Amino acid sequence: MIHSLSNRDLYPSLRDYVYLNQASLGLISTNVVKEMHDFLQKIAQHGNIFMSDQAELDLLTSMRLGASKLFNCQPSQIAVLASASEMLNQIPYILRPEKNTTILMVDSDFPGVTRPWIKYCKENSCTVSFVKENPECDLTENILKEITSATSIIQVSLIQFSSGSKIDIKKLSLLTRKLGIKLIVDITQAAGALPIKANDWEADVLITSGYKWLGGHGGIGLAYLSEEFLRREPFSVGWMGAPKPFEMSPTTCFFETDARSYTQSTMSYISMVGLQASLKEITQLNPSKIEEHTNLLGDLFLNLMEKTKWLPWSKRGKSYYARHIISLESDMDSLDRALNKLRIQNIICSSRNGRIRFSLAHYNNENDIKRVVQALT
What is the CATH topology of the domain spanning 40-283? Aspartate Aminotransferase; domain 2 (3.40.640)
Tens-digit pLDDT string for the chain (377 aa): 999 999 999 999 999 999 999 999 999 999 999 999 999 999 889 888 878 888 889 999 999 999 999 999 999 999 999 999 999 999 999 999 999 999 999 999 999 999 999 999 999 989 999 999 988 789 999 999 999 999 999 999 999 999 999 999 999 999 999 999 999 999 999 999 999 999 999 999 999 999 999 999 989 999 999 999 999 999 998 888 888 888 888 988 888 889 999 998 888 999 999 999 999 999 999 999 999 999 999 999 999 988 888 888 876 667 889 999 999 988 756 888 889 899 999 999 999 988 999 999 999 999 999 999 999 88
Cα angle 341-345-349, degrees, rounded to a multiple of 5: 70
What is the CATH topology of the domain spanning 8-20+286-376? Aspartate Aminotransferase, domain 1 (3.90.1150)
Query: What are the sequence ranges of the domains in the chain?
Result: 8-20+286-376, 40-283
Q: Is the Cα torsion angle 137, 140, 144, 146 positive or negative in sign?
A: positive
Q: Is the separation of the CB atoms in 11 and 20 below 8 Å?
A: no
pTM of structure = 0.94
Residue 40 CA to residue 26 CA, distance in Å, equals 21
